[in-house]
Structure 1
Amino acid sequence: MKRYTGRGRWYRPVTGTVAAVLAVGGCSSSSGSATSHAAATSASPSGAASTAAGARDTALWHKWGLTPLPAPPQPPADKPVKLSATGAVPVLTHLPTSQKVVFITVDDGQEKDPKFVEMMRDLKIPITMFLMNDAIKPDYAYFRPLQALGNHIQNHTLHHPAMSTIPLARQKEEVCGDQKILTKEYGTAPLLFRPPYGAYNNNTKIAVGECGPRAIVWWRESMQIRNMQYQAGDKRLHDGDIILAHFRGPSELKGATMTQMFANLLRRIQEQGFTVARLEDYIQSPVG
């Protein structure tokens, strides 16, 4: 498998603004229609409430220039990945499932766009955040509203080194240091680790295992600005693929915003007939 170098091909940035909110509503053409609608609403209040909620959700997606993705299926009761409390940590590039779902992971934390938090509140798309301390320490609080939406925070080192180029002792400092800070700031010890640039070796597995996370998470696709880069030769999404994105802003996205990049990612997922599920819902934490 080709390793990601962090210098992937870039695409022409999105221009213009994201589409404005589409108005939802209407008016009846006669009093009879209004009476009929009122009677139906009275007869089925739960149905009317559901319709109204659906209209609100659709309007929120339209606000970002998008059409709603299907709700993800119920995650399997028998998790396809079961992690052990001891022993060698596995490396995950995808999760085995026959469901038409993919998993979005967002790395680093340099860009802290309030609009992205607003977007996540509106769309309720699950993401997994792999946060690096150098990037997030100017504003740890930015990520708490994203965490409050149910999104998990995972380990991505203190300083973002290429792990395979540094000795075991340094690797342990990077993983254990980030583990300690993330646990303190966000109240939960990370279960997963992502190596910067995707670079790891056997010492990385040792360091990760000794510092707390129980799996290394890689990816099969990486989001650029308008499109994804694919590891697979068919350049298609597959069931259970893990997608890499980053907290990036206009300076790194050639003028595009974080929300524009993320909207493009959702479009690419939708075009291929997939929806987004939560990575951690398909992973069983160690028991005991």
Structure 2
Amino acid sequence: MRGGLALLAVAALGPGCARASSEVEPAGGQQLQVPAARALDAYAAGLRAAHTARVAAAKRWGLRRVPLTAPPPPAKKPEITTRDGFEVDDHAERGLPPVFTTVPTEEKIVFLTIDDGDEKDPAFLRMMSDLKVPYTAFLSDYLVKDDYAYFKKMQARGVTLNNHTLNHPYLPGLSYAAQKREICGMQQVIRERYGTRPVLFRPPFGNYNEDTLLAARSCGITHVPIWNEEVFADRWDYREWDREIHRGDIVLTHFRGREDWPGTMPDMVRSFLDKVTAEGYAVARLEDYL
């Protein structure tokens, strides 16, 4: 049994394990390097500790089940194309950013995305850090500017901060120049406040036109993810007729609290995780697939 564990553990322990390994001669005569018993024991102990921490975190935050761990991201990124019916004229031929609701994948994963930045709940940051659940934020400046530091803490925890316009307008009702100010202006805010320029953009309400995509492309946007489901503190909404979660679906929620929902951000996370975990889905990081 220990030899089987050794073979499984080689990749996880990395190249340095060779210094603490012993040689095994398989039937074919080729020598294999396998970690020594001490290295295997340390690796197994690390796995047990990580699992114990996840179990404890799930219990602490009131989850029904321990969230599943997503598989490693693909070495080759999937091809992202605009969803049928979401195109503008000559969309792909003109190199406009793809608009999509689902990432093509065979893995049983979904992606959590959170919009606007209104609610700034410290318990939410603690919960997501404890549970180690990845998510992607799309921010609007008029809501985040009263507490940029909250989202700096989020960024420090590995969350990518993306563009949701300066003021959350209905973009198709604006001129190209006005749309460009909204989108490129938010690019500048995020770069100045957080040190990076986003490549992901989500139009407010999911509404856009040709000018939206042209403006977004002009200031560095490469992808326009929208969503297939939306989760609240007390319910789910669905885009598809079957009202089911699918592999690679993008799930939308918002930074909201009791003023807008019958619950808190942690309540929303419980609603989200309890459902996806019960249906056998893990939560993956959207940027790893784009």
Shorter-chain TM range is 0.7 to 0.9
Deviation at 1:49, TM superposition (A): 4.1
Residue 123 of structure 1 is matched in structure 2 by 131
CA displacement, residues 230-281 of structure 1 (integer Å, 9 cap, x when unaligned): 1111100111100000000110113x11111111111111122111000000
Residue 280 (structure 1) aligned with residue 278 (structure 2): no
2:180, 2:105 → 1: CA distance? Answer: 32
Residue 153 of structure 2 is matched in structure 1 by 145
Where does structure 2 lack aligned partners over 5 or more consecutive residues? Answer: 1-37, 82-91
Deviation at 1:225, TM superposition (A): 2.1
Matched residue type, 2:204: P
Residue 217 (structure 1) aligned with residue 225 (structure 2): yes
Matched residue type, 2:238: Y
> Which of the numbers 72, 75, 83 marks the counterpart of 1:74?
72
**Percent of aligned pairs with the same amino acid:** 43
Residue 62 of structure 2 is matched in structure 1 by 65
Deviation at 1:56, TM superposition (A): 2.1
Where does structure 1 lack aligned partners over 5 or more consecutive residues? Answer: 1-40, 284-288
> Which of the numbers 52, 55, 58 marks the counterpart of 1:55?
52
1:45, 1:205 → 2: CA distance? Answer: 51
Residue 184 (structure 1) aligned with residue 181 (structure 2): no
Residue 241 (structure 1) aligned with residue 239 (structure 2): no
Residue 95 of structure 2 is matched in structure 1 by 87
Deviation at 1:44, TM superposition (A): 3.4
1:198, 1:46 → 2: CA distance? Answer: 45
Show structure 1 runs of 4+ deviating over 4 A.
none
Matched residue type, 1:79: K
Worse-matched range after superposition: 46-55 or 86-95: 46-55
- Return closer, same or farther for 1:61/1:194 CA change in 2, 3 Å cut-off: same
The TM-score, its normalising length taken from structure 1, stands at 0.80
Deviation at 1:82, TM superposition (A): 5.9
1:44, 1:200 → 2: CA distance? Answer: 55
Q: Do the aligned residues in 2 keep the contact of 1:226 with 1:265 (CA within 8 Å)? A: no
- Return closer, same or farther for 1:198/1:45 CA change in 2, 3 Å cut-off: closer
The TM-score, its normalising length taken from structure 2, stands at 0.79
2:189, 2:53 → 1: CA distance? Answer: 38
CA displacement, residues 36-89 of structure 1 (integer Å, 9 cap, x when unaligned): xxxxx9x934433432332122101110111221210111111013699x8311
Residue 229 (structure 1) aligned with residue 237 (structure 2): yes
Matched residue type, 2:284: A
Secondary structure of the equivalent of 2:145? Answer: helix
* Residues matched between the structures, number: 242
